Amino acid sequence: MLDTEIREYIAYLSIERGSSPLTVSAYERDLKRYAAFLEAQGIASLERIDRDAVLAYEAELVASGLAPSTIERRVSAIKGFHRFLVRENIAAKNPTDSLRLPKVPETLPDVLSVEQVERMLSQPFDDSATGLRDRAILEVLYGCGLRVSELTGLDLGSLLLDEGFVRVVGKGSKERIAPIAGAAETALRAYLDRGRAELAKPYAKPTSAVFLNARGGRLTRQSAHAIVARAGLSIGVENLHPHTLRHSFATHLLGGGADLRVIQEILGHSDISTTQIYTHVDRAHIHDEYISAHPRARCRE
């Protein structure tokens, strides 16, 4: 059931909306689970899907112990799917019209302190091709605020180092320019000058990718994750994620006085409200520092 409709919606997301492959894949899985649930409930046609059926599915998601953010994404996929069906005249009604998305508790992103970042990036890296590459990866992730997929997707033609920028393709294939300077630029130039050519083995298929693996091919997201995780262990942080470096970049920029809209542009957020979470991070940091440092902050008279 719904196989044809799901395929049409996924094609719409991919081709017309330009959604990222990861988003498209996640929505497809979510909708197939939804279809399987409806089938198990004996609902065999679009006309029989009503609000109660959707609420029953949401209740099952909650009962299964999934994270609130996962439930929100799955319900969001269903709402978008049914809106599409009505808009394309595939279905006569939208059973999710009056359905609200489940409330997701606000969580602040993990960030490293400036001191932790300095310790991680000032540690000695060996002068091999992979050592130069790994240092450049860490410096660029933190120095430019890139997502890991944006980092591994960088091509040589994306680098405008003489102008102080890199051209980034972000979510939804949207292109933006991110500034690069200082240690990030220095580390990237060192890798390009002395490391990349060694990794681009003669027997490897030529690639325009900036960051290469030991076989001369484009570095995968998984490999970049592993490089960051190893660097985290060097400063006592387990399971350090590339996105934590992106969050740290934004938080440290804000703490240094950067305008929120400038940070929004650099990160590639389409909505300023997405960027505003970093103001909460900064306030939380200020509050913690105040509590620990002020002699009367903990005094209750």
- Say whether 278 is catalytic: yes
Is 191 annotated in the active site? no
Q: How far is 18 from 237, CA to CA, in rounded Å?
A: 36
Task: Name the packing angle between helices 129-144 and 182-194 (round to 10°).
Answer: 150
From the candidates 33, 171, 218, 221, give the one annotated as an active-site residue: 171
Residue 11 CB coordination number (10 Å): 11
Of 73, 79, 147, 196, the catalytic one is 147
Marked catalytic residue, from 82, 133, 252, 269: 269
User: Which listed residue (243, 287, 290, 300) is catalytic?
Assistant: 243
List the catalytic residue out of 79, 246, 247, 252. Answer: 246
**Dihedral sign (CA 100, 102, 106, 107):** negative
Q: Answer for the pair 57, 2: CB distance below 8 angstroms, yes or no.
A: no
Cα 25 to chain center, whole Å?
Answer: 15
69/49 Cα distance (integer angstroms):
24
247 is catalytic: no
* Cβ(250)–Cβ(267) below 8 Å: yes
Listed residue (77, 69, 100, 67) closest to 25, CA to CA: 77
32 is catalytic: no
> Is residue 147 annotated as part of the catalytic site, yes or no?
yes
Q: Tell me, yes or no, if 171 is annotated catalytic.
A: yes
Structure tokens at 219: 């570095």
Catalytic residues: 147, 171, 243, 246, 269, 278
